[in-house]
Structure 1
Amino acid sequence: MSTTSADDGAEPFEGDDRQYSPTRLSGWLQEVYGPDRIQPEQMSRAQLADLSPQALRVHNDHREVWHANIGPIDTPQLLALHADLGEIIESNRHDGNKTKPAALVDAYPGLGKSTAVRAYGCDLFRRQVGLRGQTTPSGARRVPVIYIALSGNTQIRGLNASICRFYGLPVSGDADTLAERAVDAVLSMKTVAIIIDDIHFLAGANSNSVRMANQLKYLSNVFPVTLIFVGVGVQHRGVLREGFSDNETELAQFGRRTTPLTLPPFQVDDEEGRIEWRTLLKTIEQNLVLAEKYPGMLAENLSDYLFARSTGHFASLMALINRGCLRAIRSGHERLDEELMNRVKNDAAAEEARKELEAAIKAGLKTTRPQQHRKSA
């Protein structure tokens, strides 16, 4: 099969896809220090028609990868979460003989909590290096923040192995050996925070909350850092609940050491929420690169529609818009409207809730439009 371009003499084009894993130090450094993408040039239909076939393919490739990577967007929810994380983590200047309180970001799927926490971790990483230098006094690379993600039925050994794997250390040995190895790396590289994503996988979905609390407490005791847990339904399992019985002291200790945070979905039940939703759509709209994009394409003409289809969940919204832009580019439609968007598939949870929201909007029981913008609807 030929790998040459359809155009004779066309130069190969690699594109701006950035394939890396943030759960490895090399990939995490790409996320922390990777250059900002440059928004592709906004062209009219006539300008697109004037491009050569290869130039058009390159331009469309730039647009597609750009739309797939819009964000993080500084929504009120994200900024509030970053402020709370900063208050917890940046006040944890305790000496090594004291356990540092942890943070737990517990929210529904599809709200962008992992992206929001990683964005905070990247910012903290850069600020620490900017203040203290790229190397430690002993000459090691300074790694202020690390990021790991758990998989189904992860046990303590697997978690310790994930930390060692991030640093590029051997993953042989039992849980205690791996923990000692990981602690040495934390100390030598001056790590101050560890982000542990998908914490609900720890010890499996069927484990009881006492066992889970024991494992999380173990981490807090072993690692002299601030632990930032990210998960779904962790509090629902009872890990942080009050009113413990005498044999649930592990739960009480972990609950006292951990501050729960969340990232709420967008809501349009009050004027403040509707204004926030409109501001979000206007921000996204400014980042879209479509030949027939126009002011109000999202914030005016698709506001109710996009809320119904995303149920106010940021990840569902961005997946829908990204796929819509891809379809608009490849079909030559070059704009987003209901006719095109109705052909775009979205996640199952959003689609399941869609009919109820659409019915409420059509019946006039719910609107996404702030009061001052309803007359123009």
Structure 2
Amino acid sequence: MKTIPRTRKGLEYLPFDVLLQLFDNMPARDVVHVLCTCRAFYSLASDDAMWRSLSSRYGLHDNTYFGGRSWYIVYTRLLHTYGPMLGLWAGDHAYTGNVIEVRLEAGDLHTQGGIAFDMWCFRVLEPEEFGGPEMPELPTYRRLVRVDFTGTSTQNGPATTRCCCGGRLPTHRAQLSLLSSTTLGFYLLTRQGRYPHPDFPSADFHAWVDKSRYPRQMCSPAPYIDQTDLVPPQRRLAMVYTAPTAYLKPCAVSLTCEQGCINRQRPFLGFEEASPFHPRYYPLCHDDDHPWMDPFSQDWSAKNLAGLWLGSHGPHGTEVLYVEWTTHPPRLRAWKVTGDENVPRGALSWEASMGDPVRLSGSEHALCAKCLGDPVAYKFFGGTGTFSGRGFM
């Protein structure tokens, strides 16, 4: 009788690339436990090549400036937890919104390597610039938080989170928390009554949330306080307060520090804020697989316009938009990621029907010729835009 060989089903028989993919999606502690289960894996635990390969997935190829720490420590103590956060995050600050960028820094002779959290800052326009610049302006960066090994007392200790935005204050301990979903949102209270603020994210505007980029850490219950009965029914001065809405917002990240200076970096808001909570940040989708394409290319379509954009919004200056493409019907919708006291973050800024181009009237043709040059070189599509008085009431 012929003996049939047993099928090799153990993890140790998987290709190395497949193992790396599995390990990259497991908690770092579990990776170490798996590597200690058999001799075939145990040799990998002390193999810097594997930890270096896992680290390279987040863009780190040199660990020279991490305080002499091994690839194993850099990956398991820092990159595995915080590496998925690299990219842009949108804050739910009332009306204004906010954007922070999480970046990996390999370090140099003066600064140890780590992960930095920088806030996007746009220039505040002067009164004489009431019309605003015609073109959007690029943001500058303000350092909020850094996660690195600077405050770690031992070579094998975990990375620490430090606040770097205190100005004259020395760097001090900060906290990054992953918060559970919540129904809490914002309302505006005025002498005329109460007005709901757009949810962020909302039932109509949530495709921009990249749920694969949350940090790998325990999720804490989001604080919950309904201020509806805690504020007076009418106020002479407008005030923003917190109360539940109909939409359940997903998990979010919160940044705090013991001196409170992170919270003081929020964009200026002309309304009084009664909300006791720190802003929630959500991961923004930004597809790097679809680079910019020349509109005159035969392969170009309106779908190529989907993604993040900077827009010039008159006296409010530059704001961040997320342009969404829908196929049925074919249209583009631009949602505000950051906003202002007239049209806030979370609101629909404009939408355009991308079916058939429209024919210009005589006055429209003259206006387009003045702004764009020869209108023959363009296609025009109809749509609607949103504008509002202060408060978006």
- TM superposition score normalised by structure 2: 0.20
Bigger proportion of residues as helix: 1
With a CA cutoff of 8 Å and minimum separation of 6, indicate the structure with the bigger relative contact order: 1
Larger Rg: 2
